[in-house]
Amino acid sequence: MLPLQSASGRAPRLAPPSRVAIEIGDRALAAQLAAELALTPGLALVRAGERPDLVVTDRRDAPAGHRTLLIGDVAERVSGAGVSVLTSAEPRLIVAAAMLLAAGYRLEADGGKHPEAPHAASSSALTARERQVAELLVEGASNKVIARRLEISVHTAKFHVGAVLEKLGAVNRSDAVAIALRDGLVAL
């Protein structure tokens, strides 16, 4: 197998993963998050001495100057630049939220209101296969991984990904993940 090369003949430079710091009092949850992060492309645990790109914490007095994902049952909403709130303590959902934050999105509480957006999709808008593809997109799966997991060709996987993006009104895979999670089309 030949190494991937750019037009200049050199191997292309991949973007470094977003560095995530975990500052959580519950050691079991912190360990689960660390394990999930280790398996998630595009995210990595921050090393000693490095500045994190994102801090996942359950403390209300989170350090300023970082994008922050505040998790857990938060009685009062915390606001501030770069602070997103997620009431779940489910490791896979936290990692999915971290992926969205690393892609430049921000999570905001909606106060229980769900206004119908023009591009909002219902779960009936996606076929059963498209829901499977959307679930794999949330996991960060590539077209090749989707094809393997669903036992279909890569071409068919690309077709299904395109259909999911179109039906959700998404501009890219990250946007599709955000819409699917926001609208509850995918259960974690």
Hey, where are the domains in the chain?
Answer: 18-102, 123-182
pLDDT score for 145: 95
- pLDDT higher than threshold 50 for residue 4: no
For the sheet with 18-23, list strands across it.
43-45, 18-23, 54-57, 67-71, 83-86
Residues 161 and 133 sit within 8 Å (Cβ to Cβ): yes
d(Cα 46, Cα 23) in Å, to the nearest integer?
11
Q: 118 — phi, psi (to 5°)? A: -60, -30
Output the six-digit token pair for 16: 């470094």
d(Cα 169, Cα 119) in Å, to the nearest integer?
5
Residues 100 and 174 sit within 8 Å (Cβ to Cβ): yes
Q: Which helix (H) or strand (E) holds 31?
A: helix 27-38
* Fold for the domain defined by 18-102: Rossmann fold (3.40.50)
pLDDT in tens, 133-150: 999 999 999 999 999 999
| Those residues with Cβ within 8 angstroms of residue 103's Cβ, 6 or more apart along the chain or in another chain | 174
Question: Which one-letter DSSP state was computed for residue 11?
Answer: P
Please count the residues of the chain.
188
Q: Give the count of alpha carbons within 13 A of 120, CB side only.
A: 9
Instruction: Find out if CATH 1.10.10.10 is the number for domain 123-182.
Output: yes
Residues 23 and 55 sit within 8 Å (Cβ to Cβ): yes
pLDDT in tens, 25-59: 888 888 888 888 888 888 888 888 888 888 888 87
Mean pLDDT of 16-22: 84
What is the separation, in whole angstroms, between the first and last Cα of the chain? 36
pLDDT in tens, 45-103: 888 888 888 888 887 776 666 788 888 765 444 555 567 777 777 888 888 888 888 77
